[in-house]
Structure 1
């Protein structure tokens, strides 16, 4: 299995490989393409908004009221790539839910930010995991190295004071308070320009999503 070729196939759609690992004997292992327990997993996602033009062109050709269009696009794209590389594609929206956050932490050595989003030392909060590829056989993967947690070195922690709803706290993120504010008459800035706390984070500013993309994700969050 050639990881470079897999990366090239995903890059055609603005997606990238986001690390992987071999399952251990004590893992609750999902089935691979053969139906038996997978040996290896590689996560697929985005860093920054490289996928957005590809997704936008796909979406423009479909009904405007299509439910969960980003999930559908990811399933189309990653699902089409998987058989070429003898893999089974799985997604965060699959039921029953799979432990994508735990997989991501294990694959890239990341930890959550106060917003609950995993923070990357280079991409900051401007990245996501869109799917994963499961393999029947172990594949050659670089060893996972723990990343420095950017929040540990952040003195001012501007994300904690930027949220107008006070939903972002160091000990927890209050989803309900955030949604209530965004849906309210006081929330148009968050609705149209994206999360102010996320934008306040100084890490990975060069990878920040465009305003249209941020508004799309916020609308999906509050639905």
Structure 2
């Protein structure tokens, strides 16, 4: 008897156990940048407030470098094996997988006015822990409208020192600001631009998670 094809609901149920979620996917066929036989690429990321307490309770949170990446590799890698898929990650290069371009292809993630990726549900707080390259074609939901088109776009003016605007990202100016007392708000709560996005404000992400990644960024 042939195996019953997987559905997105099946995969979501597996991800929920690890406080992960599907952020989008796209159909593909024999693309050189993907494992041979890939028919669908699904992108995976954190799922709300349960994610950070879960990750920090895992054995990878042991004081050694890169605990989140090591956890992602173990968990998503195991899921891929169970599904007969291939796990791909945004870390571990070079070479680097083109996660930015893959995200845009899902049509649930867009290039925002400040050029950061913005997700249909998570706004500018979106992040990716990995992707599953499946040999099965899957029914994907129709894309929603791009949220920025009907938004007042507060992200454009949210940066206190204009380091991140529609003109681009002045990384040295950002780091210089984070070294000041005023920059503590961004260090503790997460980037002010990301927080300004209305979709970001409806997505439950713990400040501790943002603070950790800000510290990683601002080493």
TM-score range, shorter chain: 0.7 to 0.9
The equivalences for 1:3-82 within 5 A come to: 3=7, 4-24=9-29, 27-31=31-35, 36-58=36-58, 62-64=61-63, 66-82=64-80
Which residue in 2 is equivalent to 1:160?
156
Shift in CA distance, 187/98, structure 1 to aligned 2, threshold 3 Å: same
User: 1:144-171, CA deviations, whole angstroms, 9 ceiling, x for partnerless residues?
Assistant: 52x322222223x322332122112113
Give the conservation status (yes or no) of the 8 Å contact 1:10–1:16: yes
1:17 alignment partner, SS class: strand
Unmatched 5+ stretches in structure 1: none
Shift of 1:186: 4.1
Question: Any idea what SS the aligned residue of 2:62 has?
Answer: coil
Return 5+ residue gaps in structure 2 as ranges.
none
More divergent stretch after superposition (171-180 vs 82-91):
171-180
- What secondary structure is seen at the aligned counterpart in 1 of 2:165? coil
State the distance in 2 between where 1:140 and 1:160 align.
37
* Aligned equivalents of 2:117, 2:168: Cα separation in 1: 13
Alignment of 1:77-92 (within 5 A): 77-92=75-90
The CA distance in 2 between the partners of 1:198 and 1:74, in whole Å, is: 23
Structure-2 residue corresponding to 1:218: 214
Q: 1:115 to 1:176 in 2, by over 3 A?
A: farther
Question: Take 1:55 and 1:123, find their aligned partners in 2: how far apart are those partners?
Answer: 19
CA distance in 1, matches of 2:210, 2:96: 24
Instruction: Please list the CA deviations of residues 50-88 of structure 1 after superposition, one character each: whole Å capped at 9, or x if unmatched.
Output: 3112101116x7432x21111111111111111110011
Partner of 2:184: 188
The number of residues matched between the two structures is 213
- What CA distance in whole angstroms lies between the structure 1 residues aligned with 2:200 and 2:207? 16
Pairwise CA RMSD:
2.2
Question: Does the Cα contact within 8 Å between 1:21 and 1:106 map onto a contact in 2?
Answer: yes
Q: Is the 8 A contact 1:46 1:129 kept in 2?
A: yes
Q: CA deviation at 1:47?
A: 4.1
- Verify the 8 A CA contact 2:109 2:119 in the aligned structure 1: yes
Return structure 1 stretches of 4+ with deviation > 6 angstroms: none
SS at match of 1:203: helix
